[in-house]
Amino acid sequence: MRAATWKGPDQPYVFPSHRISRQLRDDAKTPVVLVACGSFSPVTYLHLRMFEMARDYIKHQTQFEVVGGYMSPVNDEYKKPGLLSARHRVNMCSLGTELTSNWLMVDPWEGYQPRYQPTAVVLDHFDHQINEVLGGIETSTGDRKRARVMLLAGSDLINTMSEPGVWAPADLDRILGRYGTFIIERAGSDVDQAMETLTPWRDNIYLVRQTIQNDVSSTKVRLFLKRGMSVRYLLPNPVVDYIEANGLYLDDGPNSNTSPATENTTASPSQAPPVLQMSTLAS
């Protein structure tokens, strides 16, 4: 197995690139690398499925060609409720991607940093690694094309982009103007309203509808685990085994009374745990 296990910030960092397609299949297309930023505490099948939905959409409806996909688990300093250490989250994402997919990877870089890294900085990191360090993607004639790094996110995340104080305006301009995003529709998040505020960047925002609705969330999974209920078939089996072997999520975990922190900004009220979901399960 080639799963990148957590080595810790003291070990030399190596950018994972073992599953990047280094050559374009269709020279006319623009290579794209999908990057999902999030807590992944723990990673679920829905997180993995987001990449497949985006790849199908890209294949059938755009002039892009997907050459790689990454999960980037957020730094511990994000301090969101239920956020387990980056070590465990990276290990779980590695098990989930390496054992269930042939193209997805996990980058531990965010977790290795001494502090929280805003999403714009994370996308800059990927852009640098793929286009400067690796030199982009080769065409059939041996030329090299820059890959577009694009954010992959659920519609709840895009909704926070229209809320004051959560994202620095310069960061939004970099994320949506320079990079762009694929948004996976999420039940309960009205994306149309958010899109109105984001119209300056609408050409760089692609909305992917979920034709088979799946509303698994990490919050619900954590609640099941805390109550001793099964989460099998909501997450990849190796991740379930890892959680059991390490006795994870048996209590509320770290940051249970805090809101997530972002570098430049105040925390978003919408990032608090979903009260409706909690109370629905609390009977």
Which residues contribute to the site for ligand ATP (CB under 6 A)?
A: 36, 38-41, 46-47, 50, 82, 153-154, 156-157, 184, 186, 214-219
Length of the chain: 283
**For ligand NMN, which is the closer residue by CB, 16 or 31?**
16
| 236, interface contact from ligand NMN, ligand ATP, none, CB < 5-8 Å by kind | none
Phi, psi of 245 (to 5 degrees): -65, -30
Shortest reach from residue 110's CB to ligand ATP, in Å: 12
CA distance 105 to 95: 10
**For ligand NMN, which is the closer residue by CB, 21 or 264?**
264
**For ligand ATP, which is the closer residue by CB, 20 or 194?**
194
| 260, interface contact from ligand ATP, ligand NMN, none, CB < 5-8 Å by kind | ligand NMN
**For ligand ATP, which is the closer residue by CB, 46 or 137?**
46
Which residue, 100, 24, 13, is CA-closest to 68? Answer: 24
| 219, interface contact from ligand NMN, ligand ATP, none, CB < 5-8 Å by kind | ligand ATP
Sequence-distant (6+) residues with CB within 8 A of 281 are: 220, 223, 224
| 183, interface contact from ligand ATP, ligand NMN, none, CB < 5-8 Å by kind | none
Tokens 């959680």 sit on residue = 243
| 186, interface contact from ligand ATP, ligand NMN, none, CB < 5-8 Å by kind | ligand ATP
CA distance 222 to 15: 30
183 has which bridge partners?
A: 153, 207
DSSP state of 258: -
Q: Does 39 bind ligand NMN (CB under 6 A)?
A: yes
* Structure tokens given for 229: 């209920």
* Structure tokens given for 192: 């149309």
| 46, interface contact from ligand NMN, ligand ATP, none, CB < 5-8 Å by kind | ligand ATP
CA distance 15 to 109: 8
Q: Does 119 bind ligand NMN (CB under 6 A)?
A: yes
* Options 54, 76, 171, 176; binder of ligand NMN; rule CB under 6 A: 171
Shortest reach from residue 161's CB to ligand ATP, in Å: 11
DSSP state of 235: B
Q: Does 162 bind ligand NMN (CB under 6 A)?
A: no
Q: Does 113 bind ligand NMN (CB under 6 A)?
A: no
281: Cα separation from own chain's centroid? 25
Q: State which of positions 199-228 bind ligand NMN (CB under 6 A).
A: none
Q: Where are the alpha helices (DSSP H) in the chain?
A: 45-61, 86-100, 109-112, 119-127, 155-160, 169-172, 191-197, 218-226, 237-245, 275-281
Tokens 């300093």 sit on residue = 77
Q: Does 181 bind ligand NMN (CB under 6 A)?
A: no
Shortest reach from residue 14's CB to ligand ATP, in Å: 24
Shortest reach from residue 170's CB to ligand ATP, in Å: 21
In the chain the first and final C-alpha atoms are separated, in Å, by 41
Interaction site with ligand NMN (CB under 6 A):
37-39, 74, 78, 80, 118-119, 157, 160, 166-167, 171, 260, 262, 265, 271
